[in-house]
Structure 1
Amino acid sequence: MAAAEQIFTHSYPRPPDDKHRLAALHRYDVLDAPSTEDFSFLTELAAKVCDVPYAFITLVDAEQAYVKSFTGLELGKLPRGQCYCSLAVLGDDATEICDLTKDARTAQMPLTLEAPFMRMYSSVPLTSSDGYAIGTLCVMNTKPGCLSTSQHDMLRRLARQVMCLIELRANEKALKESLRELELLATTDELTGLHNRRSLMHRLKFEVARTRRFRTPLSAVMVDLDHFKQINDQHGHIVGDEVLAGIGRLIRENVRVIDVAGRYGGEELCILLPNTPPEGARKFAETLRSRIEAQVHMDGDRKVPVTASLGIGSFNHMDIDDADNLLRQADAALYLAKQNGRNRVEG
């Protein structure tokens, strides 16, 4: 294998625009995606119509070739320099080598020298929407030979179908990501990263319905930043926004997965605590109050002290048995916390 190893160290010529070709490949985000039955069907069909035992869908990355689907021989990743398909992305419309042992570029490749001892290779590039060859649909045989004109034509048609599937998968993924982003924008307060008021109230209705059905506890904590107008007046609205963003981050880091934290309005926040009785809500609120007081906010080299008043409301399935009464109770407790000196928990 010494001769083979010597050839393997040589790099095949690469397209002058290989950087852009790789960018086109990575745009589809398909290298690590699992294969599908659709791809398997196309490789099986390619092998059948070309009357050969082997067919592969291969994507050529910077240093490796990824076999995404195969028929006849299971392959995974290959070094780019050891893959026939690295020749097929150089710009030719198709690459056909009728006897791999007689071509200096392929004679010493592992698949030529070792079982199953490939002899024939024919491929059609998989071309991106912007014209770059990102890989191939190829067929192989252990006997020398060439494809007929009609077989070449069919292989090209199948390659277009492979590329359509790749495009479809990429478009579906992009659509799902766009929908997730739109949902996030529709439900999230941009400044605090918490639920916006509309989303908060929607989730409140859901939690109330679940509490009524399963007779489970539900608490709500209203949070109001003390003298927030003074922070805006003394330090400016940019610092005020930074304070709100910091408080939002602190709350996100201290709630459970099942909790719902939202911006109720202005500097007033609300946290829904499912499956949480009043004593649990008070413990949570006191911990949050102390952490808000301890959080450091700066205006240049000046510290900006921030405290909060918190009020608790809890579902009791009697007088507090709907969303309005739950928030009304939490609001009343918040007002009491302000009246009693602020930076405290009531309820």
Structure 2
Amino acid sequence: MSSQIADSACMQGVPTASPSTAPRYDFHIRAVGKLCGVAVAFAAWRDEHGRLVQHGSNGFHCMPLPFSSAADPLGLAGQPLRHLHPLANATDPALRQLADSGYRSYAAAAIQDGNGGEIGLLGMLDRRGEAYTEEQLHWLVELAHQAGQPCPEPATAVPANAPDLPVRDPLTGLPQRDWLMARLQEESLRSHRFNLPLALIVFDLDRLGELNAQLGHDHGNAALARVGRLLRQALRRTDAGGRLAGDRFAIVLPNTTAEGAATLAEVLRGRIESRPNPLEPALAMSASFGVSAITAEMGNQGSHLLDAATHALDKARQQGRNRVVVSLGSTTLQ
């Protein structure tokens, strides 16, 4: 694009997303619309030829957006978040044109790659005469961060001779069950051989089905994606966390006692609980945790450690949820 601010994607000859590229950020666009309750949600990014690609909801196509010079191709000026209200006071010609189209508020968050480089943006527009709330901006930044996570390779791309290469869950960015269970068995053998501590955390999100039923699956998916991000931030390099199925996650903790694992579980429980759903406070998220540590009775079988942690998780749910329960042995010793 030239150094002039784009009047409109169509006027500049910039393509909107084709059916083959639209799904790239489709989930994140829909999630912004639902979680933030805005009229228009959109994403924009550069394709492999350097052309601007746009995709959005509710009449977004061909709308003017504040993309400017080569030094600031996405109109964020190096900022992770840009939000303006009311648009009528904006000096940017593209933003003024949005205001003339009836929009009152604009916000965009940078989609960044693993090195912090801006590869696109996720944004929202609204006709209501209200500034965006902190919760709306939080969800926008959260979803933009999730959009920047590397796309997982399909299972067929994983070499058969590379069992330590995880196939990642596309929603949370975490390894899937098969890899995690193989890692658990590997660490169980190492623990048994060298007499090292080993712990396992298994946890569920509380009442995720209720959230999906009342507010829709986009809300539930956003909650799962946020838990994936929290988990990746909390783990050490030697730990292994993953998504077992649905809303169930597990963390393998080498060289960790039951006490250490319980401390980590409590930290995660508090972080999950600290961010209530902005659209329905009565459905604030929480999680129940089961913790187990390897014992002599378990031998070298990781499945026994999983059984014990799952049994402890069941007790946490029976005792009212949103808590951590520690097992002191295999399920046969409870």
Tell which structure's C-alpha radius of gyration is larger: 1
Query: Shorter chain as normaliser: what TM range?
Result: 0.3 to 0.5
Using the size of structure 1 for normalisation, the TM-score is: 0.46
